[in-house]
Structure 1
Amino acid sequence: MQGQQEHIVKSFDDQLKNVAHQIARMGGMAESQFSSAVDALARRDSDLAGRVVNADTGLDGLEHQIEEETVRILALRQPVATDLREIIAAFKIASDTERIGDYAVNVAKRTLALNQLPPAQPASAVPRMAKLVQSIVKDTFDAYVERDAEKALDVWHRDAEVDEMYTSLFRELLTYMMEDPRAITPCTHLLFIAKNIERIGDHATNIAETIHYLVTGDYIEGGRPKGDTSSYAVVEAPETAEDIGTENTPNSGDGSSNA
């Protein structure tokens, strides 16, 4: 494995390589699961969405295997320095990767609900955001395999772009819901889907931070760049002709209202 020193005890090397192989395999499964969930959303493919939901146990099983193996290595080998970072990184990356799979399953479940409704106009905006996050997830696991700290740092910076896209989409979906009550149900599902995709980006960024620490031994300096301002987003309801007419109607003389 690139960047890993050879040990006197060959079985120790084999254990470390096996853990790295399992992490790479887990990353590939998470990428595939997320990609399938996005495809199911874009194509309104309920069969594919159902397969994503049913495939979640594979990632869970791999995470448990990695946890057991890392604990065994810690107990038997008592690793230090780079080896210790390798084990700690594997443990943390496995957890974040499993969460990526969970959020992909959530996207698939919401897709199954959406497919029971007429197509919603803003649905096309969500896959655009998903494509960006897909590229981030791919680059993250490439950085792990290649032990590339610079690529991991690039992923870390790109998270802000995902946040900005999510905030924009949040406002857009709120506007659709206010303009047309029939859009409330599908747009609500799309809001949850968009949030799940944004969280996938966050976990990929967590992994990128761990990779940077694994390779360099240093944590990334400074706070994580953030562009999600949806918590403060306020969209004004459109003014209707009825509102204008009510506003211009004088109150009755006794100060009472007909509301």
Structure 2
Amino acid sequence: MAGALAGRTLFVTGASRGIGLAIARRAAADGANVAIAAKSAVPNPKLPGTIHTAAAEVEALGGRALALRCDIREEEQVQAAVAETVSAFGGIDILVNNASAIWLRGTLDTPMKRYDLMQEVNARGTFLCSQACLPHLLKSSNPHILTLAPPPSLEPKWWGPHTAYTLAKMGMSFATIGLAAEFGPQGVAVNALWPRTIIATDALNMIPGIDIARCRKPEIVADAAHAILSRPAKGLHGRFFIDEDALREAGITDLARYAVDPSQTPLPDLFL
């Protein structure tokens, strides 16, 4: 798969750290252009990484980077970020909807500001970024939209513990279904990707009691994303990939290197 994304332009939301940064780094290793769209423009002592440190990592790996301070809740900021990306790199080939807000509490412990934040970032943000990028994606020779969202499900066990978060996250999944149905026939590969296991990112701070040693590294999701984004877009839409399955389809079966501690059994993800 080496070099498959060379010269391609990716617009990655929430790419200043975690899975988004890992996806940006993997694309950079191919020689891709990466627009890093995130809110983190100045260092935060509790959350390492900014758009500028991420851009430096992309360029150190051989890619071209564009650091864009962008709150995907704000339409004007998204439109401006997309326009700047097109101006810098000549177009957009890939959109990765990675940015997401999380709050794993029950209904009575969910302030409406948290509910609104998750809806605006997760479901609305996915739709807005897709809407803004699609005119440019439709001009690409191999356009992809990849959203970090779980397989859609109405199983009550996924909804009862944290209805607000599940609603916002499944909103990303349902947006994937709709966009795939609308733009898949036009040649845009619109798909989703979700990890089989819990991934060791800063989001774990929202899940008390998680044993980091039983998690996998963000690189497994990044390599799975790379495998999907390297494929021809035509006819590839409406799929909800699981990271390890996507890797197996690409011929990668040794997953031990992705474990934080290979001697531990990985924890299953929240929605699987």
| TM surpasses 0.5 | no
Say which structure, 1 or 2, has more relative contact order (CA 8 Å, 6+ apart).
Answer: 1
TM-score, structure 1 as length reference: 0.29
Greater helix proportion: 1
> What is the TM-score normalised by the length of structure 2?
0.28
Larger radius of gyration: 1
